[in-house]
Amino acid sequence: MILMVNKLVVFDLDGTLVDSAAIVAEILNTMRLEIGRLPVPVGYFLPWISLGGDALVAHALEIPINIVGPHTKKFRDMYYELPTPSESIYSGAFEALEHLARRGLTLNICTNKPRRLAEKVLRETQLHQFFSFVCAGGDLPTNKPNPANLLACLSSKKIILMMLILLAIAQLIN
């Protein structure tokens, strides 16, 4: 998702700037093996990656959503321990952010990834240097694509919404 308002650009993190699918699949396949399930290809997880941790882990492990809490915590703890490879940044993303920053645009992130993980990924990929505000999963009682999350990014700079262009990539395809 990319949103421009006057001089503000709001990016999603996963699937827009960073491809986290390989790390997610590695962790979930480890967890699948631990509960006696066979590993599956990365593509198996893709439909659920943008749905948030609980939905992703429940589908990946083939367990009911009402018992997924401890498994989601374990998934997130394992994710935190794995380094984010620099090659997970999409080709051209770093250069695009440099270009936008040089042009004086304010750059924000709006992600469903919990703050601890979002900040880790931004820091380890050196992308943190471009962003003045991050609305992460858990910051609000809602998640993307709820407009409240995007509006938090807009209100972070008290920007009056003049024109809104929303390019939905993964979230609105389904």
The mean-pLDDT minimum among 67-81, 131-145, 151-165 falls in 151-165
Amino acid of residue 72: T
To the nearest whole number, what is the mean pLDDT of the chain? Answer: 86
Is the pTM of the predicted complex or chain greater than 0.85?
Answer: no
Domain extent listing, the chain:
2-19+87-173, 21-81
Confidence tier at 150 by pLDDT (50, 70, 90)? confident
What is 2-19+87-173's CATH topology?
Answer: Rossmann fold (3.40.50)
What is the CATH code for 21-81?
1.10.150
Tens digits of per-residue pLDDT, 77-113?
Answer: 999 999 999 999 999 999 999 999 999 888 999 999 9
Cα distances (Å, whole numbers) of residue 9 to 79, 86, 99? 27, 23, 12
Give yes or no for a cis peptide into 145 (omega within 30° of 0). Answer: yes
Report d(CA 103, CA 79) in Å as an integer.
34
Amino acid of residue 38: L
